[in-house]
């Protein structure tokens, strides 16, 4: 495995390593960029200052030797050489003076001086200066193996160039200073990198510790199924908020697991009871009860009731399982609320007639329509109506009152004159397998799931269901559902008798 591959795997092994590497790369690149910019700025400023000072020195010397440049005599050349040596010694620079033809008149250089009279007009800076331009050049001199900065200034008299003064200086000092600055910057980058690594490690571990705790807790739950542990929340930032959300999820899962276990236990019990009863009836029939016509009929009727109860329980379990999973829950159909109520009443009417319970419907819905699943909504109303009929004694009555509450909601009130529900039981009647009157519920074939299914269906339709009850007086269930707002129909005048007949015929 190559070094780069090992580094790559190490970097992505944990969030802390990724944060560390990211911080380090960003800071090192930023410091390198700043250092290079600073070195370039220092060099540029230093060369500019040096160039300006050399140009000023050339101007001062030109003013001093201006008259001597126009004379072609030994004394004038001596004065020029004396002035050149004096200025060169004072500033530590190399100065060369040439005449208008490019011949050397004086040179202060001690390393490789140009002989008097030698023509150096081919040098770039001398050539440009003879043309009247202040020339600035940097080049490497082979004799010293160093970089030199040259400034060549023309000397003019009566509008003509009478000579050139070239001032040169080695750039060694500037380059040495830049080298020292570079070393200092590299030391700063190294020290900053070390500090970055230390601080990044501390920050990364501080950020990563809650995540590692959450990961360990999740692995424990996955391995053992024990959801009793939570992650300690010690921070108010986003990581702390994540830990709080994680704990809320654990508590939610714990509650869901408790409900699941209760559901399984209750479902097993509810399935076991009629199954054992069916077994007892079958044993009785096998033991000889089938020989007696009267006993046989009684046992068969009992067996029929037990099978119906078992079928109803299985259907309830299947329905609540579908609701939990979100299956078969299309809510895009338009449902006429009046028709929905009529269909629900039609289903419970035979049982009501058998118990001699009267069902009264008072509806003023004006064609109200809700969006949803008609089968599920009908099941919800049937559950409430069925309970109302079952818990209402002979000659009692069940009332249904449906009204529009404004233009956005329909209210369906189902009132009975039954036994009522105790105040202690009211908050729990929508829980699964809960029975306010356990003896009567089992006798009537109830599974304890009907109202839980009803509440879930109504909630899926963006509605609500509530209950008020008084023991010995009766109960009132209130279902509220959002109504689809429809535009008022546009009336079109009928133009002929044929049109009228066509409309009337369509309603027949």
129 and 212 share one domain: yes
Query: pLDDT at position 437, please?
Result: 57
454 and 317 share one domain: no
240 and 178 share one domain: no
Question: Measuring CA to CA, which residue among 330, 346, 331, 482 is closest to residue 412?
Answer: 482
Q: Which two three-digit tokens encode residue 290?
A: 């089938």
132 and 275 share one domain: no
Q: How confident is the model at residue 507 (pLDDT cuts 50, 70, 90)?
A: very low
49 and 189 share one domain: yes
Q: Which two three-digit tokens encode residue 93?
A: 């620079």
Asked whether residue 497 is domain-assigned, the answer is no
283 and 389 share one domain: no
Find the mean pLDDT for residues 312-325: 71
Asked whether residue 499 is domain-assigned, the answer is no
**Cα 123 from Cα 105, distance rounded (Å):** 15
**Residue that terminates a domain, selected from 190, 223, 256:** 223
Asked whether residue 502 is domain-assigned, the answer is no
Total domains present in the chain: 3
Asked whether residue 446 is domain-assigned, the answer is yes
Q: 158: buried, middle or exposed (CB in 10 Å: 19+, 13-18, 0-12)?
A: exposed
Full residue range of the structural domain in which residue 425 is found: 333-482
Query: pLDDT at position 420, please?
Result: 87
Query: pLDDT at position 494, please?
Result: 44
Task: Spell 488-507 as b/e; 16+ CB within 10 A means b.
Answer: eeeeeeeeeeeeeeeeeeee
Kind of pairing between the strands at 397-405 and 135-141: unpaired
> Quick one: what percent of the chain has pLDDT higher than 90?
8
Tell me: the pLDDT tens digits for 58-102? 888 888 888 877 777 788 888 888 888 888 888 888 888 988 888
206 and 239 share one domain: no
204 and 294 share one domain: no
Q: Please give the distance of CA 268 from its chain centroid, rounded to a whole number.
A: 43
**Residue that terminates a domain, selected from 207, 223, 239:** 223
| Length of the chain measured in residues | 508
Task: Tell me which DSSP letter residue 341 carries.
Answer: H
Residue with tokens 């200066």, as numbered in its chain: 129
35 and 183 share one domain: yes
The residues, any chain, with a CB within 8 Å of residue 287's CB and separated by 6 or more, are: none
Q: What is the DSSP string of 74-124?
A: HHHHHHHHHHHHHHHHHHT-EEEEEETTSBEEEE--SSSPPPTT-B-TTSH
User: Which of 188-192, 332-336, 393-397, 478-482: highest mean pLDDT?
Assistant: 478-482
Mapping DSSP to helix (H, G, I), strand (E, B) and coil, where does residue 266 land?
helix
Task: Spell 286-303 as b/e; 16+ CB within 10 A means b.
Answer: eeebeeeeeeeeebeeeb
Q: Mean pLDDT for the chain?
A: 78
Asked whether residue 437 is domain-assigned, the answer is yes
């Amino acid at each position: 495995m190559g070094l780069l591959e090992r580094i790559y795997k190490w970097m992505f092994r944990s969030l802390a390593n990724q944060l560390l590497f990211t911080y380090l790369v960003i800071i090192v690149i930023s410091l390198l960029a700043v250092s290079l910019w600073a070195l370039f700025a220092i060099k540029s400023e230093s060369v500019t200052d040096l160039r300006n000072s050399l140009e000023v020195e050339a101007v001062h010397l030109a003013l001093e030797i201006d008259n001597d440049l126009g004379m072609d005599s030994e004394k004038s050349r001596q004065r020029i050489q004396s002035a050149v040596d004096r200025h060169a010694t004072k500033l530590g620079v190399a100065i060369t003076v040439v005449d208008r033809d490019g011949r050397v008149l004086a040179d202060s250089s001690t390393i490789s001086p140009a002989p008097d009279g030698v023509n150096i007009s081919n040098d770039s800076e001398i050539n440009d200066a003879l043309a009247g331009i202040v020339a600035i050049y940097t080049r490497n001199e082979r004799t010293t193996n160093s970089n030199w900065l040259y400034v060549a200034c023309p000397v003019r008299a009566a509008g003509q160039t009478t000579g050139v003064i070239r001032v040169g200086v080695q750039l060694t000092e500037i380059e040495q200073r830049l080298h020292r600055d570079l070393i200092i910057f590299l030391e700063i980058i190294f020290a900053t990198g070390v500090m970055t690594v230390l601080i990044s490690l501390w920050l990364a571990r501080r950020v990563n510790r809650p995540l590692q705790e959450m990961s360990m807790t999740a692995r424990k739950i996955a391995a053992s199924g024990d959801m009793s542990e939570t992650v300690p929340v010690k921070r108010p930032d986003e990581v702390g908020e994540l830990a709080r959300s994680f704990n809320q999820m654990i508590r939610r899962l714990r509650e869901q697991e408790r409900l699941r276990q209760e559901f399984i236990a209750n479902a097993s019990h509810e399935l076991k009871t009629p199954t054992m009863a069916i077994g007892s009836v079958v044993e009785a029939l096998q033991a000889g009860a089938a020989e007696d016509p009267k006993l046989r009929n009684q046992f068969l009727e009992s067996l029929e009731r037990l099978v119906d109860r078992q079928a109803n329980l299985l259907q309830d379990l299947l329905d609540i399982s579908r609701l939990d999973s979100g299956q078969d829950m299309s809510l895009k159909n338009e449902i006429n609320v009046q028709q929905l109520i009529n269909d629900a009443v039609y289903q419970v009417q035979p049982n009501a007639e058998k118990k001699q319970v009267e069902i009264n419907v008072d509806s003023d819905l004006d064609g109200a329509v809700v969006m949803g699943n008609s089968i599920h909504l009908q099941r919800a109303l049937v559950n409430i109506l069925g309970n109302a009929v079952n818990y209402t004694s002979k000659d009692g009555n069940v009332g249904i009152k449906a009204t529009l509450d404004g233009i956005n909601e329909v209210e369906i009130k189902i009132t009975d004159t039954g036994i009522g529900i105790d105040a202690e039981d009211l908050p729990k009647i929508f829980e699964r397998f809960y029975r306010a009157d356990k003896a009567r519920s089992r006798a009537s074939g109830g599974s304890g799931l009907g109202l839980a299914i009803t509440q879930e269906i109504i909630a899926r339709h963006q509605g609500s269901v509530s209950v008020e009850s008084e023991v010995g007086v009766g109960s009132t269930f209130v279902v509220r559902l959002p109504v689809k707002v429809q535009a008022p129909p546009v009336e079109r005048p009928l133009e002929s008798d044929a049109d009228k007949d066509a409309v009337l015929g369509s309603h027949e």
